[in-house]
Amino acid sequence: MDWQTNEDTVPSGFVSDAQIRSVLGKPAASGAWREGDPVGRRRFVEVGAFSFESGESVPQVRLAFETYGTLAPERDNAILVLHALTGDSNLNHPAEPGHPTDGWWPGLVGPGLPIDTDRWFVVAPNMLGGCQGSTGPSSIAPDGVEWGARFPFTTIADQVRAQHALLAELGLDRWAAVVGGSMGGMQVLEWAVQFPGEVERIAVIAAPAASSADQIALNSVQIQAIRADPLFHGGDYYDAPDGEGPHQGLALARRMALLNYRSPSELNDRFQRSWQSGIDPLGGGGRFAVESYLDFHGNKFTRRFDANTYVTLLEAMNSHDLGRGRGGVEAALAGVRAKALVVGIDSDRLFPVADQELIARHLPATLDGDRPVVIESKFGHDGFLIEFDLVGREIARLLAS
């Protein structure tokens, strides 16, 4: 399985040599969705000219999104679901033309599931700065070439202001709920603070109120891995001959990220000190099975993502500070009107439970008082993409409230 998010989840312990060979062929310079590619199930909303927090602007922004279920005549059943770092608008359908991977929350969104599309109308956008249909670095700028590294510095607040255009596009005045994990959870918080009268409920899953120095450091080394690739060319690689893009740097950044998404115990239990099947550990040139796993996912990632986009979105995560310009995080959270569910994962080493404890402590109306719900999972940060029963039970509880 390949969840189209910032976390790949593979239930089996080993990656075969055949699987590795299958992703070692030469990819295109970028894995971004491009104009002329199959549209698939995407819809688009034109946001128009857009000014970023940085003071920069672009003359036209477009968001890609998908919808699931039916909007009620009263227009009171719309839920916004926000993806994590490398996700997109595909929540639950299989890979198909226009959509390179399977949906990333198939156990939570659909008929009869916790976010029941027989009851709820679900909207899932690709975020501003993304590379699966929304305006971002791989989009064409007014001069006829890709924005590349020229794309404006983008913040979580910018992304939420762009998403706000979906309300008008769909004829809505509020969301029944806004739900998201990881980077999507950052956007959930921003929605609740920036547009408090337009959000009834929020689910913040495995996300912080502000990125810490440790989290920024983890992102910064990934950014440098991409920029250090000699084929990055300062972000101008889209027309490189023979698709020679910065694949090594992007794959290395992905490998680094995967180490933060899983818990040490899960990797140790799955791989131990096993060697790749069929390779003599004393014969030279061998690899540990965990190295094979990281290689496979790093190389596969380059076929569905864009290096400039990855840099843009990591910098957006680094910028995340709900209290910026609002008197601090506590003051910002105190202004939230929505009924809130806050979920942490006990083994999450990227956004540990202390982050969710701070959020829950300062929100005015949570389901569980001043404490988050803490899910026990061996999968670390990836737990919000794998533990469908546990996460789904909590979201269902929020939607029933």
Angle at 214 between CA 208 and CA 220, to 5 degrees: 105
Tokens 């180490």 found at: 259
Q: How many CB atoms lie within 10 A of CB 165?
A: 18
> Which of 362, 351, 368 shows the shortest CA–CA distance to 329?
362
> Which of 315, 317, 359, 308 shows the shortest CA–CA distance to 338?
359
Q: Catalytic: 389?
A: no
**CA gap 168, 146 in Å, rounded:** 28
Angle at 305 between CA 61 and CA 263, to 5 degrees: 120
Q: Catalytic: 138?
A: no
25-44: burial string, b at 16+ Cβ within 10 Å, e else: eebbbbbbbbeeeeebbbbe
CA 138 to chain centre: 17
Instruction: Name the 3-class secondary structure at 335.
Output: coil
Instruction: Name the 3-class secondary structure at 122.
Output: strand
Catalytic residue of the set 83, 229, 381, 382: 381
> Which of 196, 238, 188 shows the shortest CA–CA distance to 83?
188
At a CB cut-off of 8 Å and minimum separation 6, what does 54 contact?
Answer: 152, 153, 155
Catalytic residue of the set 30, 134, 139, 182: 182
Catalytic residue of the set 8, 158, 295, 348: 348
Q: Catalytic: 30?
A: no
Q: Is the dihedral of CA 380, 382, 386, 390 positive or negative?
A: positive
Q: Which residues are catalytic?
A: 182, 348, 381
